[in-house]
Structure 1
């Protein structure tokens, strides 16, 4: 099994705001899902379709896939290279949200959403300084919010995050989809950057 860290799981708070937290999930690769995912592929990527949770995503061929559980999150699916699972991976977390949240615009436009998320994570102003979070880019496209930012704890390597946020209704409740791709800003992890960015951009609700 491999430990995969999701650094940006978004959960609507009871008061109507957003809270962001770092959570670690242990994923056990599922050979059934791997066989299912391998049915369609092109240009070094495999199209993974989750019929139950109604999404698809392209992931690099040869990456492992697994499912995990965490408090407050209904479903987590992670994709990762076996040799660098902790530092380079893509995860899809699905969270149930209240009826007041009917679309992504319920959280504000993409810029205010991104600023609120990153500012909520940033603790660099504390004494002593804590986690430093820096927003790089935010945009809306394909019915999703796309975010790019960095996270760095004092004395640790900087972690680069690319994320896609979407929302859908499954007939019973609204669901928030958080797609998180992450890699370390160093030579060893940088090689996964194009693959991770393409995977996040490829995410679609079905």
Structure 2
């Protein structure tokens, strides 16, 4: 009888451990899937849109800086185009999770690296927003006009003739093009991340259970 009780106890303990292990794996998988959906939603509805907006804003600012004639300048001044301040374009979502969580959510090493690249690229682009680049350029132009005591009515003519202002514009345009190249790559990374993290929650939960 004692042996039977011992065997029954061992079997019960094994079943308990097994059930506990399965529950733990399931709970972890559900949590990882929830994180996946948060990252996916941010990428779909914010990251993708804001990286595209960043590029459009850069093109507008570049056109403004390249404008030299009165007609070109007035065209941009009257364009009724609002440059986005992009407060939601941030890496905070990615940083709200641990690196281990991100690695496990990504499932594959390439996707984990992609998430890290997007996070660092977003921080980089936030340091060089289109409006800030234009304001920095415009401040240098205003300082030059004041130093040279150029009258408002003579500014357009001075733009057309001044080598210093042309060099300022060239420098600003080169910087814009460099940042735009990074934004293009970040936009593509968002596309690829969405494609590779998409899918039914049940399927992802099963994948996360199996890989633990």
| Structure whose residues are more often helix by fraction | 2
TM-score, normalised by the number of residues in structure 1? 0.22
Structure with higher Rg: it is: 2
Whose relative contact order is higher, 1 or 2, with alpha carbons under 8 Å and at least 6 apart? Answer: 2
TM-score, normalised by the number of residues in structure 2? 0.22
| Structure whose residues are more often strand by fraction | 1
